Amino acid sequence: MIRPPAVLVLADGTIFEGYAAGHLAENGVTTGEFVFNTALSGYQEVITDPSYAGQIISFTYPHIGNYGVTPLDDEALRPWCRGIVARDLATVPSNWRATMGLESFLVQHRIPAIVGIDTRRLTRHLRQFGALPGAFGHASQEAVRAAAATAVGTDATDFVSQVSTPTLYTRGSGDVHVVAVDYGIKTTMVRQLAERFRLTVVPASTSADAILDLRPDGVFLSNGPGDPAALGDQVAVVRALVDTVPLFGICLGHQLLSTALGATTYKLPFGHHGSNHPVADLSTGRIEITAQNHNYAVTPDSLERGIVSHVNLNDGVIEGVAAAAERCFSVQYHPEAGPGPHDARYLFDRFETLVRTGRMERA
């Protein structure tokens, strides 16, 4: 396949040369914040995770697209990432589940890509200097460089309003009713909750009173994109829900719950994006391998209520909080595992126990 030459330029002026793939942007330039993901598989789930809104995903695994894509693996109705970076993009997928190739999927959803660059060098650069805004495309190097110079990251930006469902919807059945607040909820999360509860998913803009009017037995706070410090309205809603109904938060939901419990958040240098992060559950001593996708974290020693329940064994980042008196807990990582290991799916069972009994339970 003959691809047009393309260039990638970071905001600090670093240049990578490659070839344009996927959707070819009309002006030849795509901007966003560059982050790298270390997962060895599950590229479709990564690309369709709404938490990547505003970002360009660089895959550290050198060969992606080899098993194609299937609608069964979508984590949202459409990808929200700005673009894709890969060393090698397979042109001939081979898998009995595949309905199309990855590049056709990118074209269908208008997601630009750049391939053929040294993703190892890019990853090392982002590790050293942090997640950087920038640009890539098949326009002239001068045009891409100019776009990179004005590109912005995800700081202080509300992406949640872009990715949240515009209308309420329901899933599942049963005797227990849970309301999930959609900050960018993944399909696998909905599936895990609907297997246990009668589930109502509501927009991120829903007020605390409107949530309580639905008479939930518990409330779930989903994952989502961007900077939690930009979501003051959502924090106020969570703060109003604390101590009124059992709460379980994941990823952005964890950051919002922690903020409601008095904590602050900060931006990690290059975030955690991958499916092999070791986390310790401090209540049991159990070590689990987890899937993660976040650029922000809870500031150490800033929590005013509750305790730290989980920590990342790579760098000590807070990975979970719990407040037994307020009947709430949350984790920074992704126990639904789409993609990733299933070590942490017990947390959905822990939430069910909390909702049914009002008591926090160890695994």
The pTM is what?
0.96
pLDDT digits (tens, 9 = 90+) for 117-147: 999 999 999 999 999 999 999 999 999 999 9
Beta strand pairing call for 318-323 and 328-331: antiparallel
* Cα 9 from Cα 334, distance rounded (Å): 31
CA-angle at 57, arms to 288 and 281, nearest 5°: 15
Task: Give the chain's domains with CATH numbers.
Answer: 5-150 (3.50.30.20), 160-357 (3.40.50.880)
Residues catalogued as catalytic: 251, 334, 336
- Tens digit of each residue's pLDDT (9 = 90 or more) over 180-221: 999 999 999 999 999 999 999 999 999 999 999 999 999 999
* Residues 251-295 pLDDT 10s: 999 999 999 999 999 999 999 999 999 999 998 999 999 999 999
The helix (H) or strand (E) run that includes residue 276 is strand 265-281
Closest to 331 (Cα-Cα) out of 239, 226, 257, 268? 257
Distance CA 115, CA 203 (A): 36
